[in-house]
Structure 1
Amino acid sequence: MKRDYTTVLQLTDLHLFADPAGLFNHINTRDSFAKVLSHIHQHYERPDIIIITGDMAHDGATETYRFIAESLKTFSAPVHYVLGNHDHPENADQAYPLEWVTTSNHCLLSDWQIILVDSNNHPMPDSYEGEVSHAELQRIKALIAQHPDKSTVIAMHHNLPDHNDRGINFEVRNHQQVMQCFEQLPAIKLVISGHVHQEFMIVQQGICYLSTPATGYQSLSKSKCITNDAPGYRWLKLYPNGRFETDVRRTNIWAS
């Protein structure tokens, strides 16, 4: 029976190293990444598309980006990505595109489009804060105008909502401007992100803002401590007429 939805797998904040023994906050992120992928293969159908929302290679090495691509090849699904504040664009450019990893920042589906947005437009290198440029906002408006029949998912690394009550201050510097722009575009239904290494869902002005657990360590932002929550990932089911379902899944076993 033909499905009436498109499945999207979101992975985020891999923080991988070229060295298989590399540790990030005392966690072997390659091991945890492998367990996440194994969990997906064991429990779920093949996704139609994979979206990675940044912080892919913690060491920024070209070899790390190639390792990520080879690891995802088994899904036989196209991979789109945005870079995070820990990524190295020039090395990612050396590794991609590949047959199954595209550098395109726009994906057209049957009833939806996914617009991948660069939130790293910031004058201070290595800053945890993000910024979305005026040019990116204009690009989003133009794509929505070009495809008025499609609902829209925005994928970006940094988070837009104010999370001060959660102790999170790694925000997009011009988040109010960006959110006001989005609120004037009814086609935008979802904004998916990573960056904070934890799960949340906030609905504002009809737009659902989602953050997804990292494939490595999970953070408790108020104390800036690592939690015992397992690594995870997010599924999206995109239906016609702008309807969607989403769920976060976590692995059963922590990386050793």
Structure 2
Amino acid sequence: MKIAHISDFHLRHHLPGDSAIEQRKSRQMPNKIALAVKHIQTLSPDLIAVTGDLVDYPLDQMDVSETVAQGKKDLQLIQELFAPFSCPIAFLFGNHDHPTSFDRIFTHLSPDFDVQGHRVVSFFDHEGPNHIPQRVGDQHTRFRALLKDSDPRLQIHLQHYLITPEHNQDYPHTYANGQQLTSALLNDPRPKLCLSGHYHKGENLFQQDHVYFAIARAFCEPPHPYRIYTIDANAITQTEYTLLPE
């Protein structure tokens, strides 16, 4: 099984202006995404994982009707850019998205589905006080139930935020309860792959016992990276591609 993983577009097309952070090429994203989609198609993935921060929504205008409408159009644009794929696509929202608009555009998404005998589960978490990510409430209930059931399939967990490792030096990237989440994953004997975005520097695929973790580098920043993970009977491997030379 092949999974294409791409994350953190911070796109602005209908939304005016650009990201406040210069290295995030928000207005270049429609063309860059189209190029990545074209190449990823040649790799024949079985699943596309897009792990949040789809747009660069002005967070001080969450309730401004004109801005909400512009943000919806940008989400629709992203949906259209990924339309060429025939395989399942899992979209997540991040802390720079408008969750209500996301839910209205991506109403068709299932948070729990099968791909080639593997169970793909998406988690839709939020930041809490001081921007610290939290897995609480119904998302935490789903997580715990997932680890207690008897389904033998390999699990693929998708989330915007980091379960592990801890990267909170400049901004909170890892869940407040990340250590507990990691312990719960390791205590369940089934193999798992946990994919995240949010931390723009990323982390290459790594393994703790029977659980693999990976954090995509931000596509919005040069060299505009994206990845393929290959799951076979014995291991999971990663190959990273970029639109620009490193």
TM-score, normalising length from structure 1?
A: 0.78
CA distance in 1 between counterparts of 2:168 and 2:99 reads: 32
What amino acid is the match of 2:125? S
Q: 1:251 aligns with which of 240, 243, 246?
A: 243
Q: Which segments of 5 or more consecutive residues in structure 2 lack a partner in the other structure?
A: 58-67
- 1:1-256 matched pairs, under 5 angstroms: 6-19=1-14, 22-24=17-19, 25-26=21-22, 27-42=24-39, 44-59=42-57, 61-97=71-107, 102-120=108-126, 122-124=127-129, 127-133=130-136, 135-143=138-146, 146=149, 148-163=151-166, 169-201=172-204, 202-217=206-221, 229-239=222-232, 241=233, 243-252=235-244
Q: Match of 1:34, as an amino acid?
A: N
Indicate conservation of the 8 Å contact 2:48/2:87, yes or no.
yes
Deviates more, 1:128-137 or 1:77-86: 128-137
Q: Residues 70-103 of structure 1, C-alpha deviation per residue, up to 9 Å, x if partnerless? A: 0110223322122111111111122223xxxx32
Runs ≥4 residues deviating over 4 A: 144-147, 164-169
Going from structure 1 to structure 2, the CA distance change for 1:164 and 1:19 (only over 3 Å counts) comes to closer
One-letter code aligned to 2:225? G
Greater shift in the superposed pair: 14-23 or 180-189: 14-23
Is contact 2:13–2:30 with CA below 8 Å preserved after alignment? no
Cα distance in 2 for partners of 1:16, 1:39 equals 14
Instruction: State the identity as a percent.
Output: 19
User: How many residues are matched?
Assistant: 230
Change beyond 3 A, Cα 1:11–1:128 = farther
CA distance in 2, matches of 1:200, 1:85: 19
TM-score normalised according to structure 2 size: 0.81
CA deviation string 1:85-135 (max 9, x = no partner): 1111111122223xxxx3211121222111111231x443xx542111254
Deviations 1:11-39 (A, max 9, x none): 11111124377422234324245324414
State whether residues 151 and 242 of structure 1, in contact with CA within 8 Å, keep that contact through their aligned partners in structure 2. Answer: no
Cα offset, 1:63, TM superposition:
0.8
The answer (yes or no) to whether the contact 1:154–1:190 under 8 Å persists in 2 is: yes
Listed as ranges, the gaps of 5+ residues in structure 1 are 1-5, 218-228
Query: Following TM superposition, by how much is the alpha carbon of 1:146 offset from its aligned partner in structure 2, in angstroms?
Result: 4.8
One-letter amino acid of the structure 1 residue matched with residue 190 of structure 2: A
Q: Is the 8 A contact 1:22 1:28 kept in 2?
A: no
Do the aligned residues in 1 keep the contact of 2:163 with 2:182 (CA within 8 Å)?
Answer: yes
Whole-angstrom CA distance in 1 between matches of 2:168 and 2:93: 27
Alpha-carbon distance in 2 for matches of 1:137, 1:195: 19
CA deviation profile, 1:138-167 (whole Å, cap 9, x unmatched): 323434555623111111111122345976
SS of aligned partner of 2:32: helix
CA 1:57 to 1:42, structure 2 compared with 1: closer, same or farther past 3 Å?
closer
Alpha-carbon contact 1:158-1:195 (below 8 Å) kept: yes
Task: Report the Cα distance in structure 2 between the residues aligned to 1:203 and 1:166, rounded to whole angstroms.
Answer: 23
